[in-house]
Structure 1
Amino acid sequence: MPGAALTTTLDVTIDNLRSDRGELRLCLTADPKNFPGCIDDARAVTRSVPATMHKVHFDDLPYGSYAVAVIHDANGNNKLDTLLGIPREGFGFSRNPIIRFGPPRFSSARFDIGAAPDQQEIKMRYLL
């Protein structure tokens, strides 16, 4: 089909979960302004899966640059719980960037996908 966008797939593996309770909330975005939350990104792909699922598959992604953010919503309240601004639940990002104060920039978590299917392994972090 002339003019059809080229698409590919992505597999995200999530490692180092503290427990299998609750849900994993994933945000896949190509928009740096909406990373890591995907709040105002109509084209973002968000998924909520049981924490027992350590692998998530995405189909039909247009070629381009993306970043993934994951939170381990262990208590199932649909948000990342914090204590004085410090996450009380697990979190992780594509490319596993160094975390200093606050979430990483899109550029630190960015990866490019093209003709070949891609894989990202995200190592969850827990601060409390």
Structure 2
Amino acid sequence: MSVESIYRPAVLASIAVCMLSFSARAADLTVTVDGLRNANGTVRLELDGSEAAWNNKAKATAMGNVKASVGAVSYTFSNVQPGTYGLGVYQDENNSGKLRTNLFGIPKEGYGFSNNPSVMRMPTFQEVQFTVAEQNTTVLIHLKHGI
């Protein structure tokens, strides 16, 4: 038995402990959505951690729902890993599970995005992205109303 074989398990265990201590800690992400005109239905939130997820080519990081209330509602995503994210929300007034639009694609229900971009189209991931670090993060989204 060599000296190397005696110390190898201890060295590997020490490295594993160090790696765990340096790993990023998850944080809570609290989203406040304001501009709700009524208390109908549910506010639906989608947290995307990549451009592919934002463009519906990959799975969302997390989804959330909260009962609508006149004025504003809040929802907290727990244990979000540090990284770059984008948020999309809408008020599903009739609880259909999808954003209702007219023939021209203009939303009939309130909708919004992180960073509240002023665009007349679906914003890009770069326009909505924000960072979650190791501390708790808050985001405010103002609902827009189409028709």
Q: TM-score, normalised by structure 1?
A: 0.89
More strand by share: 1
Show structure 2 runs of 5+ residues with no match.
1-16
Q: Which has the higher contact order (CA 8 A, sep 6+)?
A: 1
**Residue in structure 1 matching 2:39, options 15, 20, 27:** 20
Q: Post-superposition, which runs of at least 4 consecutive aligned residues in structure 1 deviate over 3 A?
A: 1-5
Aligned residues: 125
Residue 50 (str. 1) matches residue 67 (str. 2): yes
Identity %: 30
Cα RMSD over matched residues? Answer: 1.7
Kindly provide the amino acid, as one letter, of the partner of residue 98 in structure 1: S
- Greater per-residue helix proportion: 2
Name the larger-Rg structure: 2
* 2:66 and 2:73 in contact (8 A); partners too: no
Equivalent residue in structure 2 for 1:95, among 112, 115, 139: 115
The Cα shift of 1:6 comes to: 2.1
1:42-100 Cα deviation digits (max 9, x unpaired): x5200122113700011111100001100110011110001021111110001101122
The alpha-carbon deviation at position 5 of structure 1 amounts to 4.2
Please name the residue that 1:74 is paired with. 93
Q: 1:39 offset after TM fit, Å?
A: 6.9
Unmatched 5+ stretches in structure 1: none
